Amino acid sequence: MRQAEIGLDIAEGRPALTSAHALLPGGGEVRLAAGRDTGSTDALFNGHVEARADNLRRLSTWLGFDLEGVPPGRPGRLSLSGELQVTPGLLRLAEASLRIDDTVAQGGVVYRLQGRPSFGLDLRLDELDLADYLPPDATLRSMPMTLLQRFDTNVMLKARRIGVGGEQLENLSLDLGLVGGQLTVREARTRFGGGSIVLHASASDLAGTPNYIGDMQIAEPTPAALLTRLAGLSPSGSEELGALALDLRFEGKGPELSYQASGRLGETAFES
C-alpha cells in the first residue's frame, strides 16, 4: 500500500472517517469521500466509494485470496463505485456499479461484521461466462460442500446471459437463501435455448449426505433440439414431436432420488 491518506472527524469522543485514499498492488486505487450526515449515531463512515485495479488477480493475492485454480489472466480489470455505509456491525454498499473484465453489474451488498459470517447480494448483471473463472475440471461435486456450513446468505441475482458448460442461460433470475447449512432455492428461472426452466428446491445436510426436495417445470417448443443439445441425440422422427411441458417433482437423500413426472408432449398427456 502506498500514498495512504486518511481524514478523521472526532466528535464527542467518537471518530468518524471523512475521507481516505490509497494506492494498492495490481494498479489498485481506492478513494472514500464522506457524504451528508444521515443522523446515524453509530456510523463509522457514510459516503461514496470508488475503487479500481488494473490487475485484480494480483490485488486479490495481496489480500490473501487463493486464485490458484482460476485460469491465467483472470480476473483482470476492476472498477467499482457506490454508496458505502459502515457501522460496528454492518457494511452496506448500495447503488453499486461494478465491472470485472467484460462483466458489468449493478446492485447492492450487505455484510455482517460480527458473529457468524453473513451477507446479502442483490445484483443485476449483463453477461458472464463462468468458464473464464473456473478450473477446467470444475464440477459441482468437486466443490467443498463444507464451505456452505460456514456462512449464511441471501442472494437475488438477475442476468441477461450466463455461460455454463458451453450452454447459454438467458434471462436468468435467481432467489436463494442459505441459513445454518440449509439451502433454499425460492425460485430459479431461466431461458434455455428456445424453452424455459423454473426450479424450486431445498437441500439440507450439505456437508454430509444431502437431503433434497423440489420441483421443476420445463417448457420446450422443440424437444428435438433439446435432445440434440443435451445428449447429442437426433432420433428418427424427433423433429415431428410437439411442444413439451414437463412438471418434475423430486425428493431423496444423496444419489437416491425419487421422481414424479407429469406433463404433455404435443397432444399426448403423460404421468409417471
Question: What would the DSSP string read from start to end of 33-65?
Answer: EE------SS-SEEEEEEEEES-HHHHHHHTT-
Quick one: pLDDT at residue 248? 95
The model's confidence at residue 5, banded by pLDDT at 50, 70 and 90, is confident
Quick one: pLDDT at residue 42? 76
> CA 129, CA 140: separation in Å to the nearest integer?
16
In this prediction the pTM is 0.82
Cell of 131: 468458464
- Statement: residue 57 has pLDDT above 80: yes
What mean pLDDT is reported for the chain? 87
Measured CA distances, 131 to 35, 135, 174, 188 (Å): 39, 8, 19, 20
Amino acid at 148: L
The answer to whether residues 160 and 146 touch, using CB atoms and an 8 Å cutoff, is: no
Provide, for the chain, the percentages of residues in helix, strand and coil under a 3-state DSSP scheme, each rounded to the nearest 5: 10, 60, 30
Quick one: pLDDT at residue 237? 55
